[in-house]
Amino acid sequence: VLTIKEIRDFWHALDQAAMSPSIRMALRLLLATAQRKGEIAGAEWNEFDLPERMWTIPASRAKNGLAHRVPLSELSLDLLTRIREVSGDSQWLFPSPLGDRPIQAHAIDRAVRNNRDGIPVANLRPHDLRRTGATQMTSNGVQRSTVSKILNHVERGITAVYDRSSYDQPKREALELWGRILAETVGHEVDSEANVVRLQRIRGN
């Protein structure tokens, strides 16, 4: 789990890291949303309802085979507008330079390994960013049960079978809290009004 200082150092080190803009933005979105690396890498624009500020990962792409709703914080929305500027007209957020497909999850791992000297966090792995987001949320008062929903962990037992509520509101509150903490930590200014204009432009596309 990254410390606050390590989060700040990591975020800013990405600006100078020898990696594609797509992978740089994928790592930042991973930290902001606390979702799985593979689900980030393969994300498609049609999974996002930007006016509703919701990302729905389809069951076919979710690790546990269950569709998963991820509320989007102001920071995540801001990152998405920047990602759109890089991805252009691609159906994927992070198109591969090798053909008509998204980047592969292992490309994110490789990019981090190749920049170990430039990223001042020892032995960093992309999954550590997901763990860091989860830990920061619980450390700031979010219930573990809510964080578990955000992470889309498998639930077992008869209660889990019947309790299929998506918990959208507590998930939204938790991710918005984490987004504010993260933006303040790294000094990332989020312009909500500019986001609205950009989102309208993206929706028009």
pLDDT tens digit sequence for 107-120:
999 999 999 999 99
Q: What's the pLDDT tens digit per position in 9-20?
A: 999 999 999 999
- Give a three-class secondary structure readout of the chain: CCCHHHHHHHHHHHHHCCCCHHHHHHHHHHHHHCCCHHHHHCCEHHHEECCCCEEEECCCCCCCCCCEEEECCHHHHHHHHHHHHHHCCCCECCECCCCCCECCHHHHHHHHHHCCCCCCCCCCCHHHHHHHHHHHHHHCCCCHHHHHHHHCCCCCCHHHHHCCCCCHHHHHHHHHHHHHHHHHHHCCCCCHHHHHHHHHHHHHC
pLDDT band (50, 70, 90) for residue 154: confident
Least-confidence region, from 101-115, 117-131, 190-204: 190-204
The model carries a pTM of 0.90
